Amino acid sequence: MTNIISKNRELLSIFYIFLKISGLTIGGGYAMIPAIERNLINKKLITEKEFFNLLSIAQSMPGPIAFNLSILLGRKLRGFWGAVFASFGVIIPPFFGIIIVASLIQANSDSVYVNKFLNGCYIATVGLTSYVLYKIMKNINYNKINIPLFFFGIVFLIINRSLTFFVFVSIVLINYFYEKGGIDC
């Protein structure tokens, strides 16, 4: 009986750690990663090496990085239910936050000031996107076909957006097999 109680308590504390991090870090997934890292490593729940290993897996999957990372970390800490509790902790604050803030903005959307403010935020988002692009491109290890593939992808998608998935998968596979030096599974 005490065993069950302490197990439930551990799950709740995992839930609470992720809930707190997710609720307090504004600015998307990339801002959350250092917060998760410090929290879990300081509490000695996981080693630095394990953390970065899971982070690289989280990055290579589709989906928000912080969400993917919470599933992997939760599972590492307490198995299946750990993953469930950690990922719920991550998803609950943004879920309610967006509904509240968006309804506040919409209730005042006739105001000239709110509209100008929104235009300013939109411009900042464009600046932020160019920064994200810069960071990603800075970290690529370039080879001969990267740049041509990049331009090929851009031109293709500007002409036809409905092929996004196809173009993305082709670029990843072509580059992967080029770097690996052929297909030899």
Partner 1 sequence: MLNILFIFLYIGSISFGGGWAVVGLIKDIMISQNYLTFTEFKEILTAAQITPGPIAVNMATYIGYKYYGFIGAILTTFFLLLPPIIIIASYLMLKKSIKLKKEYFINSLALGTAVLVFITLYSLGAQFIINFDIKAIILVLAIFILLVKTRIDPIFFIIGSGFIAILVL
Segment 100-159, which members bind partner 1 (CB under 8 A)?
100-102, 105-106, 109, 113, 115-134, 136-137, 139-141, 146, 149-150, 153-154, 157-158
Q: Segment 17-46, which members bind partner 1 (CB under 8 A)? A: 22-31
Sequence letter at residue 95 = F
| CB 92 to partner 1: min, Å | 9
User: 28: closest CA among 129, 164, 137?
Assistant: 129
Distances (CA, A) of 130 to 23, 135, 141, 147: 26, 9, 19, 18
| CB 2 to partner 1: min, Å | 30
| 131 three-class SS | helix
| CB 4 to partner 1: min, Å | 25
Distances (CA, A) of 46 to 53, 86, 88: 11, 14, 20
| CB 40 to partner 1: min, Å | 18
Sequence letter at residue 74 = G
Compare residues 12 and 123 and give the one whose CB is closer to partner 1. 123
Compare residues 12 and 172 and give the one whose CB is closer to partner 1. 172
Compare residues 12 and 61 and give the one whose CB is closer to partner 1. 61
| 143 three-class SS | coil
Compare residues 9 and 116 and give the one whose CB is closer to partner 1. 116
Q: Which stretch binds partner 1 (CB under 8 A): 5-13, 36-44, 56-64?
A: 56-64
- Cα–Cα distance measured from residue 119 to residue 99, given in angstroms and rounded to the nearest whole number: 20
Compare residues 12 and 140 and give the one whose CB is closer to partner 1. 140
* Residue linked to tokens 């394990």: 50
User: 17: closest CA among 75, 70, 62?
Assistant: 70
Q: Segment 157-176, which members bind partner 1 (CB under 8 A)? A: 157-158, 161, 164-165, 167-169, 171-173, 175-176
